[in-house]
Amino acid sequence: MACLLVGLPLLPRQVAAQYPVHAYLSPSIIEINLQPETLALAAPGFRVEQVVDARPDTTTVGMIRRGACMQRVQFRQGAAREVQVFLNNQLNAPTGARPVLLRLTGASAVEYPAKAFVNDIATELIAEYYARQPDNTYFLLCRVSNNTHHTSGEPARQHATNVAELLRRGLEQVDRVDWAAQQAAGPFYSLAQLQRPAALQLFPIQTTAPLRAGVYGSFLEFRDNLPGLPGNVTVDARGYVNTAWQGLRAVDPFLLTPEGRRVAVEDAWGFCDGQQVYVRQGKDYFLVERRGPIFMFFAPGHQNNSGLINGGPPKTPFSLDLQNGLVMEYTGVASGPAAPLNSRPTHLMVYWRRDKNTTPLAVQLNGAAVGQLQYNDYLSLPWQDTGQPVRLCVGTDLCVELMPSFTEANYIEYQPGLTPVLRKVPVREGAAQVSRMAGR
């Protein structure tokens, strides 16, 4: 079977260590066929007269690994047609039932290997329901976002069963809505407006604070900022010796029980210590760093995925797609329309080692907030070559402009006092300070 090279989705549990960073795209498709499913819903007082597929990407529901290949997951007849035919057959709406439009804005299908020949099948559906008025305008009844997962040895059938379950939940929610109140609130939309593609969705990991501490069992738990095993996570950390990895920490995470015991986190998708997120790739966990709208991390490239032995092999930047969990090689984010990009990544390591002030300070890079700096700690800021100097600010008005080096890490020390100073320091000096902090 011919396959095209693509990024591999991050995988949870012990299975992640067995797969390389890349897999291959198969020309065959996994089809979701809703028609054999049942809705198991009492007759509502409305009918779904039209389904609109307004997802930003209407071609794919997900990417699933099959042996050495990745296969696309799609609705058999396309999402709108498949759902429309299914609802027409399943909803026994009474005569005079009010007309409703179902607008699909998101859908995803993910599989997590659980054990031999059995997968954990996770499916998500995001939708909006609108009521049609006599003048053919529409008002919003409700928005629904649900996901579900079940263990099954028949993935395609289970995804269809999951979608039917999620549709039932949404329809039950519509049946509970106060239609008069929603109509009075407005606004009103034309069909053409509702047919336009929805904007890319922002997920809780992007919009909610603080990050919740705990262990992620899956990509969806990370994206929803809801660790499946909430609790305090601590790490045993050490700084890498290899120059390319300087400033990054190798971590061995532990979940603290209420009794004070430390339970090793050995086979999770990732974890959060309440401040930072780490994801598992191969046998190790790697720090996820937010770069504008992109979530990225450094890990060994697919040429060498054998673990970080003696400081680590050459590092490769990867980005994490929040729509489907796919990991792709990171190409950088331009600072302007014509900003030249290449594959040279580097880090700006800003650290604070003096003064016992416990109040963290906001850090900005070219005017964009990138994190907070705390006493006796450092912040690792990934940067892609744009051929332009960068402006780094700590606190409200202390800034420095510098041209990053792409042959070594860049170390910038924040020195408090009556006249605070932000200065770039020699690599040897900065590396020693950051390594001490990383290994504490």
Q: Does residue 191 have a pLDDT over 90?
A: yes
**Which of the residue ranges 62-76, 101-115, 164-178, 194-208 has the most confident prediction, judged by mean pLDDT?**
164-178
Residue 5's pLDDT is: 40
Per-residue model confidence (pLDDT) at position 13: 34
What's the token pair of residue 380? 């690792």
More confidently predicted of 284 and 384 = 284
Q: What is the pLDDT of residue 377?
A: 82
pLDDT on residue 310: 41
Query: Where residue 294 falls among pLDDT bands split at 50, 70, 90?
Result: confident
* Alpha helix (H) residue ranges in 137-190: 155-175, 179-185
For residue 157, count other CB atoms closer than 10 A to its CB.
Answer: 15
| Residue-level pLDDT at 195 | 94
CB 416 within 8 A of CB 354: yes
Is 396's pLDDT higher than 50? yes
Give, in order, the Cα–Cα distances in Å from 352 to each of 94, 362, 369, 373, 378: 69, 12, 18, 7, 6
Alpha carbon distance 259, 276 (integer Å): 24
CA distance 371 to 365: 9
State yes or no: pLDDT of 397 exceeds 70.
Answer: yes
pLDDT at res. 219: 82
Q: What is the pLDDT of residue 245?
A: 65
Confidence of residue 141 (pLDDT cuts 50, 70, 90): very high
pLDDT at 113: 59
Confidence of residue 305 (pLDDT cuts 50, 70, 90): very low
Strand partners, 251: 237
**Residue 139's pLDDT is what?**
96
End-to-end CA, the chain = 51
- The string of DSSP codes covering 227-292 is -SEES-EEEEEEE--SGGGTT-EEEEEEEEPTTS-EEE--S-SEEE-SS-EEEEETTEEEEEEEET
| In the predicted structure, residue 82 carries a pLDDT above the cut 90 | yes
Question: Average pLDDT, whole number, for the chain?
Answer: 78
Could you tell me the strand order of the sheet in which 421-425 lies? 377-384, 345-352, 410-415, 421-425
Q: Give me the mean pLDDT over the 149-169 stretch.
A: 86
Which structural domains are found in the chain, ordered by start? 4-195 (3.40.50), 202-330 (no CATH), 341-440 (2.60.40)
pTM: 0.58
pLDDT in tens, 312-341: 455 677 778 787 676 666 655 433 333 333
Helices (H), ranges, 42-78? none
Predicted pLDDT at 379: 81
Selection from 26-30, 317-321, 325-329, 400-404 with the highest mean pLDDT: 400-404
Residues 336, 39 contacting (CB under 8 angstroms):
no
For residue 188, report the phi and psi dihedrals to the nearest 5 degrees: -120, 145
Give the model's confidence band at 394: pLDDT under 50 very low, under 70 low, under 90 confident, else very high: very high
Question: What per-residue confidence (pLDDT) applies to 166?
Answer: 92
244 pLDDT above the threshold of 50? yes
pLDDT class of 287 with cuts at 50, 70, 90:
confident
Q: Which residue has better confidence, 141 or 20?
A: 141
Contact 118, 111 (CB under 8 A): no
Q: Which amino acid is at 391?
A: R
pLDDT of residue 418: 80
- What pLDDT is attached to residue 336? 32
**CA-to-CA separations, 138 to 87, 168, 182, in angstroms, rounded:** 20, 22, 11
Of 305 and 189, more confident: 189
CA nearest to 364, candidates 427, 432, 292: 292
The pLDDT of residue 357 = 67
Q: 53: closest CA among 29, 72, 77?
A: 77
The confidence score (pLDDT) of residue 190 equals: 95
Residue 183 three-state SS: helix
The pLDDT of residue 155 is 75
Instruction: Taking residues 119-135, report their average pLDDT.
Output: 88
Highest mean pLDDT pick, 125-139, 289-303, 339-353: 125-139
Residue 215: the pLDDT is 92
Q: Is the dihedral of CA 248, 252, 257, 261 positive or negative?
A: negative
Please name which of 152, 102, 105, 100 lies closest in space to residue 124, comparing C-alpha atoms: 105
Per-residue pLDDT at 101: 97
3-state helix, strand, coil in the chain (%, to 5): 20, 45, 40
14 pLDDT higher than 90? no
Rounded mean pLDDT of 9-34? 54
Q: For residue range 207-243, what is the model confidence (pLDDT) as tens digits?
A: 887 889 999 988 888 988 999 899 999 888 776 656 5
